[in-house]
Amino acid sequence: MNTAARDRALLPAVKNVLGRTPVSKLKLSKDKDGGLTVALHTSRPNNVRMESQALTDALQVKIGGDRTLKLEVIAEARAVAKYLRASPRKARLVIDVIKGKRVSEALAMLRFIPNHAAELISKVLISAAANAQDGWGAGVEELKVQNILADGGPSLKRVRARAQGRAFRILKRTSHLTVILTDAPPAVPKPRRIAAPAKLKAVAAPSAPKAEPIAPVEEPSPALIAAEAAPIAQEATPVTASDAPEIDMSDRAPDPSDGADQKREEGE
């Protein structure tokens, strides 16, 4: 008997004890010490924990043997939407983005993803979160997207008219969407980065200007003082007639205006 068939064989014993309490998944595993652990995935974990002792005894009888049996209850909420008008390939492009995220973060991301499948996925995600709220009172901040499955559904056959009376087949694909939510670990606040204090540079005190050596002033001699105080007599050079510039009148052209102011005599 394979593992899946062995797990399915234990479901009747679980349903006899729990009645109508939903159990989405049952998994039997072996521990290192030789014991057995039965993990029950359910959307009503509180109801299962109330019947944990009766459920353990029923499973022990079903399995048989003397090995110890431990029951582990895992809170899990599911929502299924069928025949969605979106192809599985295009739906998986959006699924890969939000898988493993918190529900609040996934809903915020789906709001701004432009794909048509994002709106359909967000509706199924909201439905699964509502199931978790009704099952054990978990909010969107306390849930994470454990898994999302997009399976292919039936394809709708349509016809498109082509040239020369021909017709081409068009397939309108559909998909079945399954969303699984579980409890998210508590959010760990990121430590704030504290800026290191800036190192103050040592500022040197302004140094006093260096005093230049003063050259000794020599006292002027009395003779130099007397010479500077005496007025400087300027000798005037007399100008003689021989030093005056000579005017050359030999080549002078006659001036037609000469005698213009003289009074003319009668008969001229």
Structural domains of the chain, count = 1
Q: Give the pLDDT confidence of 2-46 residue by residue, as tens digits.
A: 788 888 888 888 988 988 888 988 998 988 888 889 999 999 999
**What average pLDDT is seen over the chain?**
84
- pLDDT of the residue at 183: 94
The residue that leads in pLDDT, 240 or 189, is 189
User: pTM to 2 decimals?
Assistant: 0.67
- pLDDT of the residue at 222: 72
Asked if residue 19 belongs to a domain, the reply is yes
The size of the chain, in residues, is: 268
- pLDDT of the residue at 163: 96
Of the candidates 132, 88, 81, 129, the one whose C-alpha atom is nearest the C-alpha of residue 105 is 129
Asked if residue 205 belongs to a domain, the reply is no
Q: Give the pLDDT confidence of 175-232 residue by residue, as tens digits.
A: 999 999 999 988 777 787 777 777 766 666 676 676 677 666 666 677 777 777 665 5
Residue 267: pLDDT band with limits 50, 70, 90 = low
Asked if residue 188 belongs to a domain, the reply is no
Q: What percent of the chain has pLDDT over 70?
A: 75
- pLDDT of the residue at 72: 92
- pLDDT of the residue at 84: 96
DSSP 8-class letter at 102: B
Cβ atoms < 10 Å from Cβ of 76 = 25
Enclosing H/E stretch for 122: helix 116-136
Cβ atoms < 10 Å from Cβ of 47 = 17
- pLDDT of the residue at 20: 87
Q: Give the pLDDT confidence of 146-161 residue by residue, as tens digits.
A: 999 999 999 999 999 9
The residue type of 243 is: D
> Which of these ranges, 23-27, 102-106, 141-145, 213-217, has the smallest mean pLDDT?
213-217
For residues 60-69, give the mean pLDDT: 84
C-alpha to C-alpha distance for 185 and 162, rounded to whole angstroms: 57
- pLDDT of the residue at 249: 57
- pLDDT of the residue at 144: 95
- pLDDT of the residue at 7: 86
Asked if residue 219 belongs to a domain, the reply is no
Asked if residue 81 belongs to a domain, the reply is yes
Tell whether the model's pLDDT for residue 70 goes beyond 70: yes
Asked if residue 233 belongs to a domain, the reply is no
* CATH at 157: 3.90.470.10
Cβ atoms < 10 Å from Cβ of 117 = 24
- pLDDT of the residue at 34: 83
Tell whether the model's pLDDT for residue 99 goes beyond 70: yes
- pLDDT of the residue at 184: 92
Asked if residue 189 belongs to a domain, the reply is no
- pLDDT of the residue at 260: 53
Q: What does each C-alpha distance from 194 to 155, 198, 200 come to in angstroms?
A: 58, 12, 18
Domain containing 49 equals: 7-183
Q: What does each C-alpha distance from 243 to 43, 48, 234 come to in angstroms?
A: 139, 145, 21
Tell whether the model's pLDDT for residue 246 goes beyond 70: no
- pLDDT of the residue at 65: 76
Asked if residue 196 belongs to a domain, the reply is no
